[in-house]
Amino acid sequence: MGLSIKRFYKLTPRSFDNILKGYRKKESDLLEVKLTLNRDLEFAILSPYFDSKKLPKNYSAKDWKPFIWETKGAVNQGKRVFKSKEDLHKIFKKDDSDNI
């Protein structure tokens, strides 16, 4: 993260958590850029070999290999969403039975 020892010891737990979240966000954004660039390069190299008769007219790299952050129905940015209370109860019962 690039913190000096003196700066690290002066941080409160909350300020350290904020710095850590920012660092993780920066790394995540950098990874997204790298993956997107690699996908675009792959598509540019492989697109001459695609069968153009079977593909739609405006077929792009996003259509070829969509990422989770580009899809319209992305799941609340990594948070699990349960449909009902019954689903939660099933999961808790399963977890409790595994621990016995």
What are the pLDDT digits (tens) for 3-52?
899 999 999 999 999 999 999 999 999 999 999 999 999 988 988 888 87
d(CA 56, CA 34): 27
Rounded mean pLDDT, 63-78: 72
Helix (H, G, I), strand (E, B) or coil at 51: coil
Phi and psi (nearest 5°) for 58?
A: -100, 45
**DSSP H/E element including 34:** helix 13-46
Torsion of CA 22, 71, 56, 35, to 10 degrees: 30
Confidence of residue 66 (pLDDT cuts 50, 70, 90): confident
Q: What is the pLDDT of residue 36?
A: 92
Q: What is the pLDDT of residue 54?
A: 81
Query: What rounded mean pLDDT belongs to the chain?
Result: 82
pTM, full prediction: 0.60
